[in-house]
Structure 1
Amino acid sequence: MTTPSSPPPLTEHAHLVHPKYRPDIDGLRAVAVLSVLAYHAFPQWIKGGFIGVDIFFVISGFLITTIILGSFQGDGFSYREFYARRVKRIFPALALVLLATMAFGWFALLPHEWEQLGKHVAAGAGFVSNFAFWSEAGYFDNAAETKPLLHLWSLAIEEQFYIFWPVLLGLAWKRKWRMLTVLGTVAAMSFLLNVTTIHSHRTAAFYSPLSRFWELMIGGMLAYARLHRPPPKPGWTRHAQSIAGLVLIILGLCYIRGGKAFPGFWAILPSVGAFFCIAAGPSGVLNRYVLASKPMVWVGLISYPLYLWHWPLLAYARILEGKLPSDGIRALMLVASFVLAWLTYRFVERYTRRSENPTVTAGLVAVMVGFVVLGMLATTRYYVGRHSDPYFNKTAAAAKDWAYPDGMSPINVDGEVLQQIGHGKRRVLFFGDSHIEQYGPRAVELSKIAPNTLDSLSFSTWGACPPIPNVVDEQNNLCAQRRDGGMRLAVSDKFDAVVFGACWNCYFSVTDKPTAEDAAADRYYYLDGKNKRRFMGGGGADFALNTLETVMTALSKHKQVYLLLDNPVGDGFGPEEFVKGGRLGNMTVGRMSPTAPWAPKQKALHERMRQIAQRSGAIVIDPIPTLCEKDQCIRADADATPIYKDAGHLRAEYVRTHATYMDPAMTTPAPAR
């Protein structure tokens, strides 16, 4: 249907048209928020619960587009009223949560955590959280479970939609474009961006509004259809849509996993499911008797503050515990979330949403600007938290001292993206995981102090991914792809030398039944034909090390091969271990003594790796003579400055000047004149 020849004006005196209230949509909100809460608190129960966010996106797209298009066809659309209503709907609960989160953070967080929270508060109040978390995402980012405002990324995308969408539809209305064409074009472009970037730029696909808008557009296209075409009469069509919608959502909850390429094509399940649920209307059988039931509607009414409150409570519980809290504590946090959400809805939201006083809107905007300023003061250390021992800053500086791939340039070699530095004649491939990456700063330092001797160095790496064929990591879905690509380059004629390196201690020093501390390593196994041989208790570690020896032996016949042995890792080396006391009481950080013991099982693996290198003809690169003496290994320098960034990785500052044992693999001495 084309637009009228004389469209109503977009004036400040127009009144927004709001769709008739549908309790079943509040029930659909309840499905979305309960899925998210269950996933965040008990991910082992509902592993696909994060799709609740995608359901929210479709609902928002439907309701907002209905308001905008309905207003265009009525008295006209008022931008001022639209944004004032958005402010009164969104800002009050968000301001309360930001205030509570920051107040508790001031009391309980360490200095570097407080600084990061300040950044997240400023980003949350400015509705750019998705970009903030996108910039932080990486192998060494601190755990998502310890970021109290991580969940605001989805709210930021919705706010960006509220800014972009009315302007585009207003332009389309004024130019008399076909609305359905506009909706379809935005949806198609966004979905195409989503599916084409999900593998190569997964973080971008997840956080970028451009790759998420298609989900809002699904709701928008349904809004257009309902405004311009009569809905199907009550009957089997609506019942079928209602059933199909909830079935698709349930399938998504059951089969979508965090390790899958999400959103990608997988996001179609919850998005189309939400589409069918809304399209079914209030008379659809499950809409009427399930979604519109009083308990579901009640949860739907408080769904927004419930979503805001639950994650800071769960995150702070984990921070206080220092690990995953017990089931009882997590359940208690959910109960507290419901209580706070109801109180927020009853005594704050209902008042501000009904208020017609323009000073309320202005005041809410001022409050949000204040949070942006307060967050910036915290992240720049002008406003510090309660725990402010200066040595905290020294350990925090160590924890953030990771410089790979700074100073290098990305290059594409046969379809593989590598980090490259140096222009020497010898071409060296550094192949492995983050324990290869940690030596990138040494290569950059050599490029400054001895550029004429530096070889042409290329790094093919992937975090927590050992450079051994047939090794499978259950939690790292891109490991095999990146590892196999690096292996193809290693055996090709593109490189004259290959350096194999990895956190061998992480994968192979524990092969018996795992303790709680070793449980993370129990995700690796060796795929022997159709047999899955686990590293722990299944003999997979021996198969993997034998394969590594076979590969290096074959390569050594044609090119130089190096095996980089591991640095000591584990208890005693991470600077964070020296924080003492309770976060709710007095906290101190102990000054690190110079050394820590080298674990016997790591020493035994070190010798085994040395023998593998010798049998295969590989050149050994051994950091132990530099780091250890008589089974005591350096962890801090004379003034108690940590040399490790965490329990496994050397910090960049130390590597630049002390990791000279890497030089033979990185340089070729200049010929004598």
Structure 2
Amino acid sequence: MTTTSSPTAPQEHAHLLHPKYRPDIDGLRAVAVLSVLGYHAFPQWIKGGFIGVDIFFVISGFLITTIILGSFEGDGFSYREFYARRVKRIFPALVLVLAATFAFGWYALLPHEWEQLGKHVAAGAGFVSNFAFWSEAGYFDNAAETKPLLHLWSLAIEEQFYIFWPVLLGLAWKRKWRVLTVVGAVAGLSFLLNVTTIHSHREAAFYSPLSRFWELMIGGMLAYMRLHRPPPKPGWGRHAQSIAGLVLIGLGLAYIRGGKAFPGFWAILPTLGAFYCIAAGPTGVLNRYVLASKPMVWVGLISYPLYLWHWPLLVYARIVEGDVPSNGLRALMLLAAVVLAWLTYRFVERGTRRSENDTVISVLVALMVGFVVLGTLAASRYYVGRHSDPYFNKTAAAAKDWGYPDGLSPIKVDGEVLQQIGHGKRRVLLFGDSHIEQYGPRAVELSKIAPDTLDSLSFATWGACPPIPNVVDEKNNLCGERRDGAMRLAISDKFDAVVFGGCWNCYFSETGKPNAANADADRYYYFDGKTRRRFMGGGGADFALNMLEAVMTNLAKHKQVYLVLDNPVGEGYGPEEFIKGGRLGDMKVARMSPTAPWASVQKELHERMRQIAKRSGAIVIDPIPTLCKSDRCTRADADATPIYKDSGHLRAEYVRQFATYIDVAMTTQKQPAAVGR
């Protein structure tokens, strides 16, 4: 397309290009939103449905770049009109969803949940949700299914793109840079950042706009090509692109899983699929007869409010139920989302978009600023929700009290990232999962009260990843790599002592047939290179414990080895279990009594682990004498303050003061003889 006006034309005379409407693109939006809805409501059926977001990114990149470049090459580009149209397009439905989510949250959420919702409302209204959720990501982050506004991370990335992209393209146009080179450079750098950080910084690769912009740039490159190069003539070329596009998207839905390194290289499938679908044009065979069909176009037209409404409804259904809702209830929530989306589109969005009154824009911006303020007040406890018993805050404080890796310093040893503290002569590797991480605050406390005795401590840990070779966790695809790297360090001459620890009760206390109650434990199995042996009902637990004994026996011949036995876990220990009543009625929180029973199956495992240590020559570190007496174990202190952060982990405040039993592995002192020596 040739330039018909100067790029420096006065802004008051500039008008944005209005791309010709393509019903097949609305149909592609329908594919994207239905994929996301299916994944969120029925993840067991549509396991790769989250790739719908990546399809949306390509569509947005194509349309926005078409508008910007077409305007520069036409009557000129008006930043004011561009952002005014974005406000009228995005704010109305978002205002409604934020208001409804905030109001229901005030009525149903507990104080700590309400504070978190306030933070997310403020971030959503400020279009920085991706950074907010990125900062929260980690092993102890709340489950995604309990965050009503989690889905706004993708909207935030699009908004950040709307701010960045017109400015960069305007600069390129003004300075007569090759636009395709600019688009390709941004895409290339972003994709490179994506694939190089997906393993080492997975949350960053997922939430950062810098590692996501390449997906929008794929649409941007197509926009440039369509503006400057003739499209293929109607015929088999377009049909092939149409078929290839939907096949690639279908492959993504079928083969991409949440456990894979995504986006990474896997995101090429849905983004390239969307590229081909759009490139095929409205005459491509599947575009014309499938994507441009009336049902698909109708869903596409309401896709934006449908995306906004569905997730809060599903999350609040889960919160009210206290567990995963039934299939019927989830289907009902999707139906409600469709109805609300149509009402939003019909009675709010259409009228706002057509309005020429500048007051509408001012009101929408003011409302969004208001939500930033309201959310901040809620997050800061200046504005409290309906449930305000002070003891809720005590249990919530316990749930948040996790000190690892605070006070520790990340270091790299032979390519492995460890958390380090202390400068003693003895070099100690603490190797395990979050049940080793829970003792990090004790190490930090010792560095303050007895720094001269503290050894050189290095934590090599990974949540829900037992420190045993050949153990596979189906939900943690990075466990094996991380554990094997730490194992190489354990057997090397870089450490004088190795401390093994883990949530042994989580992995080994129940090894019978899997059922609904222990379904999460069924994700582990032992794989010797030929045979997979499930922990639950498959005998894999025995193989794993034998391997742990063999590893410790070999290590104990060359260096000091410790085995940290497990603290009691499970029902009765988590402070959240004492909240009673319904979310829609009157909720109360019972004061925790000081003790809970020590389950017999955990007691039996405890003795088995002691015998493993005895045979291998390892030194036992046993928390039970500190925590338990006569098969009753402490769960709260005298004023009902919980000592656990959840049903499995001791809170940092308790560990700092009372977990002195771990000091033998952390400090230079007279070392006890190994059990059995």
| Structure-to-structure mapping, 1:565-604, within 5 angstroms | 565-604=565-604
Contact 1:560 1:618 (C-alpha < 8 Å) held by counterparts: yes
Point out the more displaced range, 508-517 or 452-461.
508-517
The equivalent of 1:16 in structure 2 is 16
Shift of 1:514: 2.5
With structure 1 as the length reference, what TM-score do the two structures score?
Answer: 0.99
Shift of 1:9: 2.3
The answer to whether the aligner puts 1:149 opposite 2:154 as a matched pair is no
| Structure-to-structure mapping, 1:323-342, within 5 angstroms | 323-342=323-342
The equivalent of 1:521 in structure 2 is 521
The equivalent of 1:613 in structure 2 is 613
| Structure-to-structure mapping, 1:81-160, within 5 angstroms | 81-160=81-160
The equivalent of 2:346 in structure 1 is 346
Shift of 1:516: 2.0
The equivalent of 2:373 in structure 1 is 373
Contact 1:573 1:596 (C-alpha < 8 Å) held by counterparts: yes
The answer to whether the aligner puts 1:182 opposite 2:182 as a matched pair is yes
Instruction: Write the letter of the residue equivalent to 1:111.
Output: P
Contact 2:110 2:385 (C-alpha < 8 Å) held by counterparts: yes
The answer to whether the aligner puts 1:414 opposite 2:414 as a matched pair is yes
Contact 1:3 1:178 (C-alpha < 8 Å) held by counterparts: no
Instruction: Write the letter of the residue equivalent to 1:605.
Output: L
Shift of 1:134: 0.2
Hey, what's the Cα distance between the residues in 2 that align with 1:142 and 1:157?
22
The answer to whether the aligner puts 1:448 opposite 2:460 as a matched pair is no
Instruction: Write the letter of the residue equivalent to 1:177.
Output: W
**Cα deviations by residue, 1:60-94 (Å, 9 ceiling, x for unpaired):** 00000000000001110000000000000000000
Hey, what's the Cα distance between the residues in 2 that align with 1:202 and 1:558?
36
The equivalent of 1:42 in structure 2 is 42
The equivalent of 2:674 in structure 1 is none
Percent pairwise identity: 86
Shift of 1:7: 3.3
In angstroms, what is the RMSD of aligned CA positions?
1.1
Hey, what's the Cα distance between the residues in 2 that align with 1:455 and 1:10?
69
Gaps of 5+ in 2: 672-677
| Structure-to-structure mapping, 1:63-462, within 5 angstroms | 63-462=63-462
**Cα deviations by residue, 1:296-334 (Å, 9 ceiling, x for unpaired):** 000000000000000000000011111110000000000
**Cα deviations by residue, 1:103-132 (Å, 9 ceiling, x for unpaired):** 000000000000000000000000000000
**Cα deviations by residue, 1:619-656 (Å, 9 ceiling, x for unpaired):** 00000000000000000000000000000000000000
| Structure-to-structure mapping, 1:644-659, within 5 angstroms | 644-659=644-659
SS of residue matched to 1:452: helix
Shift of 1:4: 8.1
Hey, what's the Cα distance between the residues in 1 that align with 2:118 and 2:303?
26
SS of residue matched to 2:558: coil
Contact 1:12 1:79 (C-alpha < 8 Å) held by counterparts: no
Hey, what's the Cα distance between the residues in 1 that align with 2:669 and 2:207?
46
Hey, what's the Cα distance between the residues in 1 that align with 2:13 and 2:372?
32
Hey, what's the Cα distance between the residues in 2 that align with 1:409 and 1:2?
57
Gaps of 5+ in 1: none
| Structure-to-structure mapping, 1:433-582, within 5 angstroms | 433-582=433-582
Contact 2:5 2:75 (C-alpha < 8 Å) held by counterparts: no
Evaluate the alpha carbon distance shift between residue 302 and residue 442 of structure 1 in structure 2; reply closer, same or farther with a 3 A threshold: same
Hey, what's the Cα distance between the residues in 2 that align with 1:155 and 1:499?
45
The equivalent of 1:636 in structure 2 is 636
Contact 2:5 2:74 (C-alpha < 8 Å) held by counterparts: no
Shift of 1:13: 2.9
Instruction: Write the letter of the residue equivalent to 1:544.
Output: A
Contact 1:8 1:72 (C-alpha < 8 Å) held by counterparts: no
Evaluate the alpha carbon distance shift between residue 74 and residue 606 of structure 1 in structure 2; reply closer, same or farther with a 3 A threshold: same
Hey, what's the Cα distance between the residues in 2 that align with 1:376 and 1:6?
45
The equivalent of 2:675 in structure 1 is none
Instruction: Write the letter of the residue equivalent to 2:337.
Output: S
- Aligned residue pairs total 671
After the TM superposition, which segments of 4 or more aligned residues of structure 1 sit over 4 Å from their partners? 1-6
Hey, what's the Cα distance between the residues in 1 that align with 2:9 and 2:625?
78
Instruction: Write the letter of the residue equivalent to 2:426.
Output: R
**Cα deviations by residue, 1:466-505 (Å, 9 ceiling, x for unpaired):** 0000000011000000000010000000000000000000
Contact 1:92 1:352 (C-alpha < 8 Å) held by counterparts: yes
Contact 2:306 2:337 (C-alpha < 8 Å) held by counterparts: yes
Hey, what's the Cα distance between the residues in 1 that align with 2:478 and 2:42?
25
Shift of 1:518: 1.2
